[in-house]
Structures are given as C-alpha cells and as structure tokens.
Structure 1
Amino acid sequence: MVAESAWFTALNKLITGSHVATAHDLVDLLDEAGVVLGMRARIYLADLPQRALRPVPPGSAEPLGVDGTVAGRSFRLTALMPSQDEGSGRPALWLPLLDGTERVGVLHLVLPEGADPADGAVRERCWALAGLVGHLVVAKYPYSDLFHTVRRTEDMTVASELLWQLLPPSTFAGPNVVVSAIMEPFARVGGDGFDYAVDRDRAYLAVFDSTGHDLRAGLTTSMVLAATRNARRAGADLAGIAAAADDVLDAAHVPGRHATAVLVDLDLHTGVLSYVLAGHPPPVVLRRSRMVKTLAGKPRPPLGLRHLIGDRPVQVHSEALEPGDRLLLHTDGVTEARNPEGVPFGLDRLVDLTERHEAADLPAPETLRRVVHAVLEHQNGQLQDDATLMLVEWSTTAHGTLLPTT
C-alpha cells in the first residue's frame, strides 16, 4: 500500500502546481503526482454528445465508447470499476471525473504491482485523487482551449458557441434536489436554453425556446437568459422575471423575435412549486415511475409578446409535489421530432422512456443521455429542431445515485 505521506505529497503537488498551470500543464502535474504514488494516470473527457471518452492529450490513446466499455460503465453509473492494464498487466481502476455531480469524464489509474483495487482504503484515496482532478479540469476550462477541443466532435455554430458559454453546469445535486439538463444538437443548437439556481430553501428552474434556428435565435435566448437571471437576482417573483424578459426583447426592437418558456420556483422544504407557462409545453410530474399529470394551467403569451395581454396580471400556477417526485421539462423539439415516416416522437414515448430508466434506478443525467439519444435515433441522427430536456428530482436520496460508493 502506498504510504500516507506519499499521498499527501502527490495531492499537495497537484494543488500547489495547479495555481499557475495551463490545461496542458495539468496533465504534466498529474504525471508527476503519479510518479510519487507509483501509478500511471490518464484523463479521458466525455465528448459533448456523450458517446465517447476522449484522451487528454489528444492522440495519447484511443477514444473509448461510453457504451460497451468498462470506462464507459464508470462514466454512465459514476462507479469505480476495477480492471487490468493491458500493457503492464498491473491492477487498475476506472474512476468517474466529476465537477460536483456533473460528469466530465473518467480517470484511468494503473496501480502499483500487488495493489488490490477492491481494497477500501485504496479506493477511497484514488477517489479523492479523481475528485481533485475533476475539479481542476473544470477550473482550467475558462483559461484554455484544450479541454474544449477535446470534447468537440464537430465544428460548432456561432450560436452554439454563444449559448454554451451562458448555460449553467448540466447537473447539480443538493441534499434535497437534483437538477439535470441536456441539449441537442450540441453543435448546432440555436434557440433553446435552460437555467437554474438552487439556494438553501428554493430552486429556480427554466427552459426556453426562441423562434428560429440561427444566430438571431441564439441572441434572443441569450438576452432572455440574462434578463431573467438579472431579475431573479434582484428579488423578482416569477411574474416579474417574465416581465423582465419582455422588456429586454421589446427594447431590442427585433420584430418577430420571441421565446416560449416555462419558469418554475420550487420550495425545497414543502415541495410546493409555482410556475408560469409562456407558450411552452407544460412540464410532466412523474411519481413512482409513472406519469401522474402534466402541469396544465392557462399560459401567457411567449416572452416578448406581452402586448397581447396588456395590463392583465400574469397567472402564476401552483402544484404540490410528493417526496421522490420527478419534474420533466422539455421543448417541443423533443416531442415533435419525426422519423422518416413522419411519426412524431411524442409525449407518450418520452414519458415511457423516462419512466423505464427511472425504474432502473439510473441517475438523472444518464436517464437524459439515453432519452435524448433515442430522440436522435428516431430522426436518424439529424434533428430538425433543438431538443432540450430537464429532469428535476425533489428527493433527499437522489443525490446518492450521482456519487460513487467506495
């Protein structure tokens, strides 16, 4: 077993060196820490469509599939997976790389000869190392292009480049809520967007869908995201948040540009949620692996079309969740995706797939990954509209599925 002093030295080397390191330097620092521990380490990052795990630096190893590999299983289930290094025959571990609970990729650690990857102490220390590496990878994102280019499988449009910089992390987990979201087509998304903020007592959730599929649609969504965040952080309620988006779109004087939206405020103590529908498909409530209702309620017009309602107050609806309930938000690009025969994907199919994955105890981000891939396959891999999903779990236990057990 590696001595505790060696672990301290290795982690200290990583942390201290990372303060003035580029993304490329982080790989070298990890190599140096590995020498101290008698291990070899390699970072693999998940590509944006979450189909492959790509090595850092590029070309240092072959990409690995998210489906059908031990490394992919570690990523999919956020689990520590023992294996054997093909080159040396030494024991090895695949560990998920997480930023908080957002899946970033996996770390491959080749252990010292004779080490036992099933030993609890070994697993705990390796998981601590993987946790640090996950945070450092994300910390270096804004300062370098390396990790961005590793994760891309095709060139992104300018609209996509803009939107991805504005979105929050795709997954968050707290003691009583899990939020996860996904968007496709990742490289050409134009008008869709999502947002959330989780504080001690409340969670704010939103999904947007702007008209069009071009740069102007991306600009519309960007303005709506900024306006709603600004209003929320100034203490506005849901009606005030919607009004702020109306104001910024009105001020832009762009005819025909508006955005559908669903805005939600969830009380994390009581499970009571308030919501505003702005011309958007209503969210779905799932309970014990089945749909119990859609959040029907009189919608207001899409954001940017407030003149259609004049001075009438915006109607804010409410619903009470039960512990363990899931809330599924989506854009119409999911349900209206059509196969070559013209058959839409539909709400029933969306709910059925989500329910089946929930029944299999899959974590929320893995459920969404599988569902959105099913939507893509339904349309032969070429979506005609943006498709966005958000899954919210009001639960005191759901966060446990997002972290590995050692």
Structure 2
Amino acid sequence: MKFVSDHEQRRLAAACFERSGLTLEQLWLRYFALGGADSLLDLDAYVNGLAQLAPAQRDMVAHAVNERLDELTGPPRAPYSRLERWAKPRHGPLSALVGLLDGAHRAPPERLPALVAEAGRALDVEIVVYLADYGQRLLVPLSGDHAAAQQAALDIETTAAGSAFRRANSVVTRNGERPTLWTVVLDGVERLGVLEVVPTDDSDPEDPLLREQCRWLAGLLGHLVTITTQYGDGLDARRRRRNREFPAEMLWHSLPPLTGATDTVIVGASVAPAYDLRGVGFDYALSENTAQLALFDAGAHRAEASLSVVEALSAYRAARHDGAGLAEQHRAVAAVAPGGGCLTGVLAELDLRTGRLSWLSAGHPAPLLVGDGHATAASGRTGPAFGTGSALPPISTHHLAPEELVALVCRGVTEAPNSSGEPFGRENLIGFLARDAATLLPPEAARLLVKAVSGHASDVFHQDVGVLLARWTPGDDNVL
C-alpha cells in the first residue's frame, strides 16, 4: 500500500476544489450527501489549511470534488488517504479494458478505432475494427478515409471475417503474412462487426486465453459503438453504403436491435430494402417469463407507409408498457391505423416457462412454426386489418416444443417478383425455413432469408420485406 500524507492530501484536494468551480456551500452539500459528518465551518478551515479532518472525512471531501471533476474535465483527481500501488494496470487484459473504457469517456465515436488499437497494444496485438453495413452484406474497416474504407470492405458471405460474423464467434486464418484472429463484435447479442487481431509477439492466435481476452475487448467495444452512435454520426456514416431518405430514417430509428436474447429465447429480425425502408416494422420485448413479438406491414412501397408503421409501433409499445394483453394492444394499434385496410400485422406472446404461444392476426398471414425439418402455418383464424372495424381478431394458441421456431413474415417475402414476374412464393419460404432456419441462429436465418428474397427480386422492391424469428430455448445457457 502507498500512503498520502495528511498535508499533501489536503493541498491537492484544495487545488482540485479550486478547479471544480464549486462554491464552498455546494462542496459541503455534496460531501454531506456522501455521509460527511463535519460542519461547513470545519470544511472551510480544511480547504484553507487551517484545520485537519479525520481520514474518512478527508476521503469523502476528495470524492465529492472528484465527482464534480468527472462531470467537467476528468483527471487529475484529488487523492484519497490510501492508494493501491499501481492502481491502474500497465499491461495485460485489464489494462486493455480499462484503457478503452477511460479513453472512451467524452470521446467522439470516430475516436473508438484508435482507442481499440491502443488497447490492443496492452495485449501485444494489432487491431483493426470492421463494422457491418446496414444491409449486412459487407464489413467496412474503420481505418483510413471513407472512400478507401469502402473499397477495402470484406464480403460477409465469402471471407473469414464474414464467417466470424455469420457464426458469431472467432476464426483464425494463416494465409497472410502473419496469422490473424477474427472475432465478432457484439453489443449484448447483436452482431455489429468483427475485430482483425494480429499478434505482435509471436503468440498463436489459436491460444484460448488470447481469444478470450479479445472477446472481452470486442464485447466492451460493441457497447461503446452502440452508445456513441446515439450522439455522433462518425460510425454511422461508415456503415452506410448509400443515403437514406426521410421515411426510411424515421422508420429505422423506431426499430429495436436486429437481435435479442435471454437464456430461454433468441430473437432475430431482418428487413429490406435497408436504405429505403418504407412499410415494414417489427418489435419485441423480452423478460424473465415472456417474449412479446409484433410485425406490422403497410403494404405497397410508399413514402406515407412509414408514418403508419411508426404510429403502429408507438401505439403497440405504449399499450405493452402499460401491461396490456394482446386484445388491448390490438385496440391501441387499430385506433391509430389508417382506413382502407392498408395496415396489417401479427401480435404474439410466448410464455417462456411453458412454451405456450398466443397470437392474433389482423389481415396478415399466420405465424409459421418450424421444427423437425418442417415448417407449417399455425392453426387459427385471421381477423380484419387494423382500422377496418371494431371486431377483435380471435386469439389462437399453440404449445411450442423446445427449440421450435416461430416465424412472423410479411407478404413482401412471398410476393416479391423476379424480372419475369415470378414471385418468391410460399413454397420457397417454407423450403428455406424447413431446411436452413432450424439449424441457424435466428438472426443469421433472418439475414439469409431476406438476402435470398432480395436476390430473387434483383433488389427491386414493390413491397418491403421483413421477417421476425423467435426460437424457444428452455435450459439453453449459451445462446450466442
């Protein structure tokens, strides 16, 4: 342990107090809120060097000052009466994580790649950050200028980096100048991109300890990417392959992450066109015992459709936040839906303790159930579209088997035509779900389904495409 003398601690605390901009009364209020026991006069005498306080009281004064400095400028901070020797690690995984966390404080989004590279040096590795574009087709490096980064983007389907992204894990390659580790960047369970990690000390990238340390770093980075994107455009601009018009921008900002999971359910979604989305939206809410799901479809690819979907999402969430069940959720959405039956959708609720699925359909195809290599429509009756009358669609139920998948799919999937006018079709949808969705994680299955539909339609959309998948995983302790 290393000790700070009483005199030195008081001198440094007084200097930091002067930098803080606090009045003596404000400092005393903060100190008192922390449990400080001395009076305002005692505090006045202490900061002016006329009296001394007990160690515990001095530390509370230091903490009150430091809280204010953190709000303004950060370090240097007022010292405490006892400090751990080398309180901040200088090398290794903890140094990398602390360095990234400290460096990200008040940092703009575009500074994150440099901070990650610096954190990598504490692990004796070189790191380059790649983020997936919004269409989830390419991984774009954050190094270099925008044009160069777009040219250096890696294909998600055909590269090792893409394999790490698709499988949400790590991949090692040895076909370059040096062995390289590619590890997925996650915000919780949502895939954002990958790290390219090259050891500089002859370490083997297959080393389980190095892979685990890079996984920690990628996890922290994933959270920082999501947080900083909320107040800056630097990373968002790198992820865009083209501009978004107002309707798509509004709708995208109303959607939740494409992936969500707990230990008993995995949810994955995908929508297209990524940069011109107009008429499809989804939502979900996961809790200890329940997964609530919703998919809305405003039909034709029209600018005004996005407003209908955003209003439906907002009404649905407001009712759900109030604890409303499916019937009340339907009434809330119907109250804001435009007339003419142009807004359809499915609302569903999954009991994660029993696997009981309850759902209602408003002018929309029934959920599809996928398990044991088969995909079939859930049995139940479909009601009228939202806003076409007061009749409540019937609520149907189905008991899922463990690992069974629920698929909510908009009409644009089956109706998307190719250049000859031939639709993608229900048979192709059923075949994909039965063949691929049962073995892939829901977010990857959703991505590939939308990619297949987009390819069939040559990326020409008369209706938007959207899918929301949920797999019940009772007893699964490691979903992603």
Q: TM-score, normalising length from structure 1?
A: 0.91
> Following TM superposition, by how much is the alpha carbon of 1:19 offset from its aligned partner in structure 2, in angstroms?
2.3
Corresponding residue of 1:346: 425
CA distance in 2, matches of 1:324, 1:187: 33
- Which 4+ runs in 1 deviate beyond 4 A? none
Corresponding residue of 1:236: 324
1:319-334 paired onto structure 2 within 5 Å: 319-334=398-413
What SS class does the counterpart of residue 306 from structure 1 fall into? coil
What SS class does the counterpart of residue 215 from structure 1 fall into? coil
CA distance in 1, matches of 2:366, 2:246: 30
What SS class does the counterpart of residue 244 from structure 1 fall into? helix
What SS class does the counterpart of residue 122 from structure 2 fall into? helix
Q: Structure 1 333/204 Cα, relative in aligned 2: closer, same or farther at 3 Å?
A: same
Q: 1:132 aligns with which of 220, 224, 227?
A: 220
> CA deviation digits over 1:77-107, x for unaligned, max 9?
1121112484xx3332100011111111101
CA contact (8 A) 1:96 1:130 kept: yes
1:194 and 2:282 matched: yes
> Following TM superposition, by how much is the alpha carbon of 1:49 offset from its aligned partner in structure 2, in angstroms?
1.5
Q: 1:92 aligns with which of 177, 180, 183?
A: 180
Residue identity matched to 2:419 = P
Q: 1:377 aligns with which of 451, 455, 461?
A: 455
1:38-117 paired onto structure 2 within 5 Å: 38-57=124-143, 58=146, 59=148, 62-84=152-174, 86=176, 89-117=177-205
> Following TM superposition, by how much is the alpha carbon of 1:376 offset from its aligned partner in structure 2, in angstroms?
1.3
CA distance in 1, matches of 2:172, 2:124: 17
Question: Which has more radius of gyration?
Answer: 2
CA distance in 2, matches of 1:334, 1:351: 11
> Following TM superposition, by how much is the alpha carbon of 1:277 offset from its aligned partner in structure 2, in angstroms?
0.5
CA distance in 1, matches of 2:424, 2:452: 9
> Following TM superposition, by how much is the alpha carbon of 1:300 offset from its aligned partner in structure 2, in angstroms?
2.0
CA distance in 1, matches of 2:331, 2:477: 34
CA distance in 2, matches of 1:336, 1:137: 36
1:248 and 2:332 matched: no
Q: Structure 1 4/348 Cα, relative in aligned 2: closer, same or farther at 3 Å?
A: farther
> Following TM superposition, by how much is the alpha carbon of 1:271 offset from its aligned partner in structure 2, in angstroms?
0.6
C-alpha RMSD over aligned residues = 1.9
What SS class does the counterpart of residue 253 from structure 2 fall into? helix
1:172-211 paired onto structure 2 within 5 Å: 172-211=260-299
CA distance in 2, matches of 1:211, 1:63: 34
> Following TM superposition, by how much is the alpha carbon of 1:139 offset from its aligned partner in structure 2, in angstroms?
1.4
> Following TM superposition, by how much is the alpha carbon of 1:144 offset from its aligned partner in structure 2, in angstroms?
1.1
CA distance in 1, matches of 2:332, 2:382: 17
Q: Structure 1 230/294 Cα, relative in aligned 2: closer, same or farther at 3 Å?
A: same
CA distance in 2, matches of 1:340, 1:22: 45
What SS class does the counterpart of residue 159 from structure 1 fall into? helix
**Identity over the aligned pairs, expressed in percent?**
36
1:305 and 2:373 matched: no
CA distance in 1, matches of 2:246, 2:220: 32
Residue identity matched to 1:364 = P
> CA deviation digits over 1:251-291, x for unaligned, max 9?
xxx55474101000110011111111000011111111212
Corresponding residue of 1:163: 251
Corresponding residue of 1:29: 115
CA contact (8 A) 1:85 1:110 kept: no
CA contact (8 A) 2:408 2:467 kept: yes
1:144 and 2:232 matched: yes
Q: TM-score, normalising length from structure 2?
A: 0.77
Corresponding residue of 2:81: none
> Following TM superposition, by how much is the alpha carbon of 1:350 offset from its aligned partner in structure 2, in angstroms?
0.8
Q: Structure 1 248/381 Cα, relative in aligned 2: closer, same or farther at 3 Å?
A: closer
What SS class does the counterpart of residue 50 from structure 1 fall into? coil
CA distance in 2, matches of 1:342, 1:248: 34
What SS class does the counterpart of residue 284 from structure 2 fall into? strand
CA contact (8 A) 1:91 1:113 kept: no
Q: 1:271 aligns with which of 355, 364, 368?
A: 355
Corresponding residue of 2:82: none
CA distance in 1, matches of 2:246, 2:235: 18
CA distance in 1, matches of 2:105, 2:474: 35
CA distance in 1, matches of 2:437, 2:353: 23
Corresponding residue of 1:389: 467
Give 5+ residue unaligned stretches, structure 2. Answer: 1-88
Q: Number of aligned residue pairs: give it.
A: 388
> Following TM superposition, by how much is the alpha carbon of 1:141 offset from its aligned partner in structure 2, in angstroms?
1.3
